[in-house]
Amino acid sequence: MTKRISFTLHATDGAARTGVIDTPRGEIRTPAFMPVGTAATVKAMLPGSVRETGADILLGNTYHLMLRPGAERVARLGGLHRFMNWDRPILTDSGGFQVMSLAGLRKLTEEGVTFSSHVDGSKHHLTPERSMEIQRLLGSDIVMAFDECPALPATEDEVAKSMRLSMRWAQRSRDAFGDRPGHALFGIMQGGVTRDLREESAKALTDIGFDGYAVGGLAVGEGQVAMFGVLDYAPGFLPEDKPRYLMGVGKPDDIVGAVQRGIDMMDCVLPSRSGRTGQAWTHRGQVNIKNARHQDDPRPLDETCGCPACTGYSRAYLHHVFRSGEMISGMLLTWHNLHYYQQLMAGLRDAISSGTLDAFVAKFHADRAQGDIEPL
């Protein structure tokens, strides 16, 4: 019999927590950042390189994978891990969020959502039950409940109505998921920026009972101040002994602030997407490598970084290959960004373990306040 996924909290520092999610496919050290592998690949990276950056788990997108190559096909080929050559844990989203963003192309009912594929225009139907089936076919280790996330701006009434639909879908997700040792099901809290709705949503989810809980409906344009406002109270509504996952976050300072507020897991396309557009994240802030000031600069992107881009190449080279449209530009910058993100997570985990998170966060902000590197 396969062992169950478990979460062990090792230390706390204020609201911040560090621990380990233990799965049959390996440990996930928390706080964890999950690189996004939308279409069964973390763009511009080989899986072995993603692992080298320190990632314990990837996120896969149900919406994209159900349309291409198709969940049944992935299952016939041995599941998503084997398909994409990543044998560690994978969390899949439910498809809900991405379907919701297909404004105009979708129709929402109590039963679920009907929508048209962005790939070929074909019609699809997604329900809590079908989402659970797809995530099972993919072989996901951590499955997300199917939810709705209203587009902003939305009135409090609309947010409440949507949240209650998501809670009914959470129950249907739980029922459809059943009991699958070795696999976890996470519920998703909604409720926008309204405290009462967040509390109501948390209560509904904990009454159903999940292996972990996500804070959904944030990082959708409300801004960092509003997001942190919700994170000041929302994680406290959730069980202490289960992982808390903030979906779709974020920039490095978003991540630091979320961890300070008790978040254990995050995911975002930002490090890989920025890497492909010439943006790099460093301990001294963001660098735009296409800027002409880099064209004669023999220094690395970040002198404190041990990634292949920083140990092997100058800013001048990275500038040159970006301007020349060479693939190595996206490959090296993505690797750097993912490495930087994982180093940040490792630093946060160590600081929480040793009770020095405040000092770590102060240094994080002080380094960035210096701005990027001195002029040559």
Residue of 141, 147, 267, 297 marked catalytic? 267
271/342 Cα distance (integer angstroms): 10
User: At 372, is the secondary structure helix, strand, or coil?
Assistant: coil
Instruction: Specify whether the CB–CB gap between 89 and 57 falls below 8 A.
Output: yes
Cβ closer to a second copy: 44 or 238? Answer: 44
* Cβ at position 306, least distance to a second copy in Å: 15
369/112 Cα distance (integer angstroms): 47
Instruction: Specify whether the CB–CB gap between 289 and 333 falls below 8 A.
Output: yes
Cβ closer to a second copy: 20 or 289? Answer: 289
Residue of 56, 93, 264, 302 marked catalytic? 93
* Cβ at position 296, least distance to a second copy in Å: 6
The percent of the chain in helix, strand and coil, each rounded to the nearest 5, is 45, 20, 40
* Cβ at position 88, least distance to a second copy in Å: 14
Strands of the chain, DSSP E: 6-13, 16-23, 26-30, 32-35, 58-60, 90-92, 106-108, 113-116, 123-126, 142-144, 184-189, 212-215, 244-246, 265-268, 279-282, 285-288
Cβ closer to a second copy: 77 or 359? Answer: 77
Cβ closer to a second copy: 26 or 69? Answer: 69
The single-letter code of the amino acid at 28 is I
* Cβ at position 362, least distance to a second copy in Å: 36
Q: Known catalytic residue: 207?
A: no
Instruction: Specify whether the CB–CB gap between 268 and 92 falls below 8 A.
Output: no
* Cβ at position 336, least distance to a second copy in Å: 13
Phi and psi dihedrals of 235, rounded to 5?
-60, -30
Q: Nearest-CA neighbor of 88 among 47, 53, 122, 137? A: 47
Q: Known catalytic residue: 267?
A: yes
* Cβ at position 118, least distance to a second copy in Å: 12
Cβ closer to a second copy: 205 or 331? Answer: 331
Phi and psi dihedrals of 10, rounded to 5?
-100, -35
Cβ closer to a second copy: 102 or 154? Answer: 102
Site for a second copy, rule CB under 8 A: 39-41, 43-48, 68-69, 73, 76-78, 83-85, 295-296, 298, 308, 312-314, 316-317, 320-321, 323-324, 326-328, 330-332
User: At 197, is the secondary structure helix, strand, or coil?
Assistant: helix
The residues annotated with a catalytic role in the active site are 93, 267
